[in-house]
Amino acid sequence: MATAEARVPGTPGLEHTGGTYSGGVWSWLTTVDHKRIAIMYFVTGFVFLLVAGLEAQAIRVQLAHSDLRILNPDLYNQLFTMHGTTMVFFAGMPLIVAFFNFVVPLQIGARDVAFPRLNAFSYWTLLFAGLFLYVGFGLSLAGVCNCAPDGGWFAYQPLTGPEYSPGPGLDFYILSLLLAGVGSIAGGVNFFVTIVNMRAPGLKFMRLPLFTWMTLIVSILILLAFPPFTVGLVFMLFDRTFGTHFYGAAAGADPVLWQHLFWVFGHPEVYILILPAFGVVSDVIPTFSKKSLFGYPVVVFSGGLIGFLGFGVWVHHMFAVGLGPIVNAVFGGATMLIAIPTGIKIFNWIATMWGGQIRFRTPMLFAVGLLATFTIGGLSGVMHSSPPSDLQQTDTYFVVAHFHYVLVGGTVMGLFAGMYYWFPKATGRLLSERLGRWHFWLTMVALNTTFFPMHFSGLLGMPRRTFTYSAGLGLDVFNLISTLGALLFTVSLLPLFANLWRAWRRGEPAGPNPWDAPTLEWTTSSPPPHYNFAVTPRVARRDPLWHPHVEPGLAWAGELEPGGVSPRLQPEVPPDPVHMPDPSYWPLVMAIGMLVATVGALGSLPVVLGGAALTLFGLFGWAFEPPERGGH
């Protein structure tokens, strides 16, 4: 990549932005740049991933052997609650949104998202929601108050109602997730509008890269799934705070209502977490097979179908509730249907590689790893799509094995593939392939060692969410293997950290397109300038970079790189003035206002009102912020 060095600008793009893009903490607090917000999301999500991973380690140590009493049951129950809640809302969500933020505007040839300040607001609410939850957990660990939620991430009623969980722990859960939900819904709006409205000329829907397609579908899922969850949380908050009876059976309400509201969100949430990983893989596999995606329309539509069907299957989390044979038959059948579009994707990915020239660089290793491990999770999923079969599997370690194969073997593998794929674009540095391979293989071994034995411990009678188990169950060996695998997960991160460290110290310059990839983000420099594209690209077909000679509109100059590998497609200096949004502190002010109101909702009306006032103040400041102070 020596030839690439020449075209990596020293401080990319900063000099073209009217001086608004300086360094320093203030610039990060006020940034509305999607690439910087992406980095903040990524770091936040990754830190929460490590924290939730640590919680999982504690859980696995406690379960290493039968009848251990290392953790007391209350602490254990808090730990699995925090592990699940953190992984879904504060690791999984920010990590996928980090990718949305970094990749989508670049893939569609846009200079930012549709609502840059809303984007910053989404991030701050997410961060504050996560910190708020952990303040509660920390206070509880320190023995100050009983502020850690312990109802599981699914918080079934009436256990989480005022009668059985009188302490403030569940309030931390409810309020944190309400706050996070605000940011998630705003993000859903933002990416939906961005993709619909801000595509480069000629970039029709059926020319979009698959990652952008999946982002569009996931944005719709977020918009449809979070409202019922929000309603459910508000009901729960009212029951706990104002003594209403939305869920209390003693007053004639039905606690199963919460289960419906939760899972009609909870199941689409699973697809919110997995479809972006499918999007990454659908971009990575063609690049490293040197061959366009096989059956592009079918892969797109199957993604849409998975999202659509995802709203009609939530009762498969409730087959043991006793809703009757017809309900179970309908939802069982709908669940089975999802296997069809999922299978189509797997076959199309394999067909993409078929006849290609597969380069096993690190992103491709993780993508192929996803195909293998996700398939295992998909097949165990079919086993409990059948309601009677599920009666022996739900709430056991068999299901724990299943969804970890899906979420670690699918989402995490996909996000690692995406991280290795777009890291050179985001930083301008290449990662080490050798360390990448170590990371991949350790992850594969750790994943399978941890989760495969859980299939057996589950079928042989180990229920979930139990802080210990009897020696008489005969499950010690399976659990010990799982624990060793979990510890190996920690080891597997070492080559990753070493790799990041190495790239930071002495990573080779990446150049605009180190992988010979076909989509628009690879036409601009690495890292991209603040404005992404000096000239707006024009697109005449799918995978435009693989067709330079038939893409007259795409290339700015059409001149070949010095090495002759790929055409240089963006000028170093924009020929025309660039219009970019100014930094703004109002999103932060508004998010702080909402955080204050959230803290107040724990029991202080004046604080709630103060927070509400600050939120309104931020909203007004935001609305009346003068445009283009910096000038361009």
Partner 1 sequence: MGRPNALLAGPVGRVDAREGRTYRGAPGRGPGGANARIRNVSIELLNRRFLVAATLVTGLAVLQGCGGAYPQSALHPASDFADRLDGLFMQIFWWAMGVFVVVMGALAYTIIRWRERPGATRPREMHGHALLEVGWTLAPALILVAIAIPTIRTIFVVDRPPDEPASLTLEVVGRQWWWEFRYPELGITTANEAHLPVGRRVDVRLHSADVVHSFWVPRLGGKRDVVPGRENQIWFTPDSVGVFWGQCAEYCGTAHALMGFRVVVDDSTTFDEWVAAQQAPATPPREAQARAGQGVFMSNACVSCHAIEGTVARGVFGPNLTHFGSRLTLGAGLLDNTPENLVRWIDSTQTVKPGNHMPEVALTEQQVQQLVTYLLSLR
> Could you say which residues in the range 363-382 bind partner 1, by CB under 8 A?
368, 371-372, 375-376, 379-380, 382
305 binds partner 1 (CB under 8 A): no
Minimum CB separation from partner 1 for residue 41, in Å?
Answer: 31
CA trace torsion 606, 608, 610, 611 (10° rounding): 160
Binding-residue total with partner 1 (CB under 8 A)? 101
- Does the footprint of partner 1 cover residue 57 (CB under 8 A)? no
Question: What is the CA 11 to chain-centroid distance, rounded?
Answer: 29
Asked if residue 610 binds partner 1 (CB under 8 A), the reply is no
Say if residue 529 is preceded by a cis peptide, omega within 30 of 0: no
Applying CB under 8 A, does 78 fall inside the site for partner 1?
no
Specify the residue, 215 or 289, whose C-beta has the smaller distance to partner 1.
Answer: 289
Shortest reach from residue 235's CB to partner 1, in Å? 16
Does 550 contact partner 1 by CB under 8 A?
no
Q: What is the total residue count of the chain? A: 632
Q: Shortest distance, CB of residue 329 to partner 1, whole angstroms?
A: 5
d(CA 404, CA 553): 45
Which positions from 307 through 326 interact with partner 1, judged by CB under 8 A? 320-322, 324-325
Cβ of 432: how many Cβ atoms within 10 Å? 18
Shortest Cβ 80–partner 1 spacing (Å): 9
Identify the CA nearest to 59 among candidates 467, 463, 407: 467
| Binding status of residue 564 toward partner 1 by CB under 8 A | no
Does residue 475 contact residue 454 with C-beta atoms inside 8 Å? no
156 binds partner 1, rule: CB under 8 A: yes
C-alpha dist (Å) from residue 587 to 117, 583, 619: 6, 10, 8
Q: What are phi and psi of 463, to 5 degrees?
A: -75, 160
394 binds partner 1 (CB under 8 A): yes
C-beta separation of 121 from 590 below 8 A: yes
Q: Which of 27, 30, 57, 468 binds partner 1 (CB under 8 A)?
A: 468
**CA dihedral angle for residue 548, residue 550, residue 553, residue 557, rounded to 10 degrees:** 40
Fill in the per-residue mask, 436 to 455: x = in contact with partner 1 (CB under 8 A), - = not in contact. Answer: ----------------xx--
HEC-encoded secondary structure of 36-80: HHHHHHHHHHHHHHHHHHHHHHHHHHHCCCCCCCCCCHHHHHHHH
Interface map 207-246 toward partner 1 (x if CB under 8 A): ----------------------------------------
Task: Please identify, among the stretches 49-57, 156-164, 172-180, 237-245, the one whose residues bind partner 1 according to the rule CB under 8 A.
Answer: 156-164
Residue 294 in the binding site for partner 1 (CB under 8 A): yes
Q: Is 31 exposed, middle or buried (0-12, 13-18, 19+ CB in 10 A)?
A: buried
Q: Is 167 in the site for partner 1 (CB under 8 A)?
A: no
Residue showing tokens 């957990």: 137
Closer to partner 1 by Cβ: residue 98 or 334: 334
485-544 positions binding partner 1, by CB under 8 A: none
| Smaller CB separation from partner 1, 7 or 65 | 65
